[in-house]
Amino acid sequence: MHHYGHKISQTARVFSKTLNGIMSPMGLYSSQWGIILCLHYRSALTQVQLSNYLNVEAPTITRTLTRLEEMGWIIRSEGDDKRERYVSLSPQAIERFPEWLQAASELEAVALRDLDEEELATFNRVLKKMNDNLSSV
């Protein structure tokens, strides 16, 4: 047996741990970076949308958003429904985003070193199929 799920999990842990080492001096951790990255490309989202997109439980997202808000990286605002809260990047986070993105991109380049375009295309197809398979469970 190959234990593919375990291998994926271990690789993600190594990547996250290394990213934390790079990002923490910049005031950010990998779990927070996922939220920042998502908000950068998708603009304002509700907490529920963020939770669903990142596959993170609501209480965990709430704690992480509270910390990001305290740090000044996000802004939360009420939606049409008072129970609905929208989250967006603060001007300070927008200003710092290029620095964070460069650090994450440099680590990704190290992780992908010596992989050609064909291998990366196969990798992306396999990950998509696995995610699709798991979303039907």
Residue 22 is predicted with a pLDDT of 96
Convert the pLDDT of each residue in 58-73 to its tens digit.
Answer: 899 999 999 999 999 9
Convert the pLDDT of each residue in 8-33 to its tens digit.
Answer: 999 999 999 999 999 999 999 999 99
pTM above 0.85?
A: yes
Q: Which two tokens stand for residue 102?
A: 């460069």
Name beta bridge partners: 45: 87
C-alpha dihedral sign at 59, 53, 28, 18: positive
